[in-house]
Structure 1
């Protein structure tokens, strides 16, 4: 009885305050606390991951609108920071400096961290929408001639984050209208298709080249793209598949499965249409 008497109900307001504070530091909404700097941000990110994965009370407060508002604000903050760091690359006089790429990669790593925790809060759609919105501006920078033979680590990391977005949309975890899904595919598919053989070639030339798309990443992206295509309207599927067949790099991603399904569906639809027209014609004759 003395032990039971000391037990207190969980104070959700305390849990909420801890979680919100951790999110604010993890997303750099709050100013870094000197002298800790980035160490505090990393610690806060770990705290958020722990609370989302291990603390049963966290699920009760993540549904709170104010908490979600703080998380969305953090996502917006990180996206803006990443765009700013990325755009600054084109103004740099020395792009070979590791410090320059590391700065952008740190910002992108924060964005990847958000991509990992948001599904646990049912907010992945927020990430997908933000990523779709900034994708064009991202590629404008990384495909600039100044970065042709540089920043391979950044380019691979971009593909990894995009792969998570494609999986979320392709497998139905995030529902987007067809025009948005088409835009996402048409933006990133050509880039991924171009980068895969370039990275393979660099790896073959230099066995110590550390940046590559490993087998698991390739398979997950390819599967997500196929699923995404098959969920599009038939005309959009046809446009994407026609563009795929025109390119030299048809090996990756391999869209032959999507093409076969599209052909089967098209033939079936045509057959049903012809049968329907025949029935209408026969009915007209009998009248």
Structure 2
């Protein structure tokens, strides 16, 4: 589940900026909708039990929402009256999991109508998707399957009324960004568990001269070339082979061996700080990844939130009131 792991690492950069938002807190709906977390979790669990690969897309959707106008649910809005929304931007056209958010919203409108925002539902679903993912741990003779990490989600966000395609296209980083760009935007590439071959420019035309990226492991390149022919726009390859349903530290192992798919993967080894972090996660017993991940998600979930009387509480997540 490479999206979850790579996203976590880059969101750690958020600790470098101040947290200046107010109005979100753990237990925000304690009196007005006490069952909110249970309802969202049960809904998320139902869908992930049917389609385990939805876990990473739900996290990705939360990230794509927060890094455009803040965590305001604007990525959930449909286009209206000829105005294209964030959902229609190229990085967002492959988002999945909207049905999970819609189902949770429908259930909550029956339980406590007009109370819980779509942006809060998205933040909770992202957390629950991660916690419901398998974490593979080796015992003496077999693999133990346990859930991924969890964290307390501060709530109280309200939904935005604006969603603009061009803002998503401008603000979401790409797989081709170098370390400086990634750190500046405190972002992550728009990825999920799998990516089309056409997005892996490192195989055949890295510098525009028909060459390969010399920073990529040659054996891995040969492996990918078997699956990805030049110009292939349909074949899908895993970012983190064999981890599409699990939450583990294998992504860092792949990066350390120069087997990350994208420039934005290998660039983590070009900076002293990020290289140290990648290497420090390779020891399963000494890894801080789970702890860092939860703290990072709390930080990300407080970017540009609307609280108090700002925004609205949508009745339907895809439409403004």
User: Which bracket does the TM-score occupy, shorter chain normalised?
Assistant: under 0.3
TM-score by length of 2: 0.20
TM-score by length of 1: 0.22
Higher Rg of the two aligned structures:
1
Structure with more helix by fraction: 1
Structure with more strand by fraction: 2
